[in-house]
Amino acid sequence: MSTSTPYAGMSLWLLAAIFFLGLMVAREIGRVLRRKHYLHGDTEKGDAFASTSVLGLLALLIGFTFSIGLSRYEARRALVVHEANAIGTTWLRMQLLDNEERTRMQEILRRYVDARVEFGAASSPKDEVEAYRKTEALQAELWDALIEVIAPIRDSPRASSLTSTTNEAIDLAAERFATRQAHIPARIMRMLVLFAWLGAGLVGYERSEHRRSTILLFLLLTLAASLVVDLDRPSTGLINVPQNPMLELRDSIQK
């Protein structure tokens, strides 16, 4: 069910190194081609117009891709807050049940919150899927218990309010999973890398004498591209969505 990108299992540092080395190799290829043209009598000096235009377009593409990653990060962050609120409301509405039913439901909900914290802390796509499978099992247990508990009062406002907020919490869990599984399309990432390497080759061809300055340029491009990739990796990236709302909820219901 995972839709992780092909590079999901690779270290971010390794990806950055490959990207940077690709830029350097492309630049050197451009320099070699320029030298061959010079030896064949083409002594016209490039005006760097093409490379400047390509680098500007590359910056635009990176910015566009970054905006996609950032918007999905913000969506994941907002869903943590919404889900914690929904579960917290469910916990409060359980106080309307009788003692025996309330104790039973609260015990299941505590385990459910633990599973949601585990899901948020997943460190790999595989762990993420396994944690969600555990979530689904607890959802079924919680719903079955809820149906049994509210059976005698199913037509009352208490049953309706508890059912609606429990259903909302379950829906938000599914939405969080779908959002974490959504990635920037692999084709966009591949085209971005290809465009960057071709741009580096053009820089080497038109600005072969500026080797030191282009190293700094390529480092900045690598940092920008690494940031995009990091945002696109909710379980393995360095930029993780804060789980504070869910952790605070867990602490509050354990008292």
* pLDDT digit string, tens, across residues 83-104: 999 999 999 999 888 888 899 9
Predicted local distance difference test score (pLDDT) of residue 45 = 53
Cβ atoms of 105 and 97 closer than 8 Å: yes
Say if CB 183 and CB 3 are below 8 A apart.
yes
Phi-psi region of 241 (alpha: psi -120 to 50; beta: other; left: phi over 0): beta
Cα–Cα separations (whole angstroms), residue 80 to 113, 132, 167, 174, 240: 12, 14, 16, 12, 12
In the DSSP assignment, the letter for residue 235 is T
Q: For position 165, what pLDDT does the model report?
A: 94
Listed as ranges, residues in the chain with pLDDT below 50 are 1-3
pLDDT in tens, 152-204: 888 888 889 999 999 999 999 999 999 998 888 888 888 999 999 999 998 88
Q: Where are the domains of the chain?
A: 79-184+241-255
